[in-house]
Structure 1
């Protein structure tokens, strides 16, 4: 990405955050595809959120649902499974260690600057067999598409 393109990207992010309190970033890669929020921490004192393996449009919708609830003063309890975010399944929220931030959420690091912030990963089950990445019987391809970056507080 050229310096001009980067500058335009960051300006667009900052406009979206000023208008909506947050923005999302999607990264589509060979190894992993993921999306995350930027702005939830500064705007609402809420952890930033990250999700792997969902198509960008779906991931952005999920992240926007979380941001809307946070903005309305009704954030999800990140210490418990949640069945209201995705249809017909529980999702788990896993705190991501700070040592992993620079591998995934560069725009959030840039935006939050020196401010310390938290990051939680949304972990969802496979639609084929309702298995989570940590389940021994989970499909290896599914596990590879959704690496779990932290230690789940609750497991299925």
Structure 2
């Protein structure tokens, strides 16, 4: 992957931080706290590990970063998550995470900085949405899932083509 990649030119200090984090930590996490719902996404997983980038909705910045970093650590160890996977080994108390492919049509609205990062190389990077369960261990696509959890997690695969 890296042999096809051309690093973007940083225009701001924030861009330099992204490049530094991707090199040092394997990815950078961009949080959009003022969105409704808030969300965060990774930049660099595809470059460094050949793994889809990640986006997660409805978590505060600390939780979103912790979840993405847990997944990054698994990916760095060689695990690959794909569309439809359910993982019950990362969160406490038996809570699970689901992984859904993000359609390319959603990228401009949610993944602008990642588009900037990969644009110079013209790499079509994949992205997975990380979906979490409500307190009753139901995913937003399941019957009786909390309305608040459904509101906090727009399922991009269902709403954007």
Q: TM-score range by the shorter chain?
A: 0.7 to 0.9
1:105 paired with 2:111, answer yes
Report what 1:9 is aligned to: 14
Using the TM superposition, name which of 139-148 and 68-77 deviates more. Answer: 68-77
Report the secondary structure of 2:91's partner residue: coil
Q: CA deviation at 1:99?
A: 0.1
Report what 1:3 is aligned to: none
State the superposition RMSD in angstroms.
1.6
Moved over 6 A (4+): none
Whole-angstrom distance in 2 between the partners of 1:132 and 1:21: 29
TM-score by length of 1: 0.85
Q: CA deviation at 1:20?
A: 1.5
Q: CA deviation at 1:29?
A: 2.3
TM-score by length of 2: 0.83
> Which ranges of structure 1 fall in alignment gaps of 5 or more residues?
1-5, 152-156
Report what 1:125 is aligned to: 133
- The count of corresponding residues between Structure 1 and Structure 2 is 145
Using the TM superposition, name which of 17-26 and 71-80 deviates more. Answer: 71-80
> Which ranges of structure 2 fall in alignment gaps of 5 or more residues?
1-10
Report what 1:138 is aligned to: 145
Aligned counterparts, 1:2-151, within 5 A: 7-76=12-81, 78-87=83-92, 88-113=94-119, 114-127=122-135, 129-151=136-158
Report what 1:154 is aligned to: none
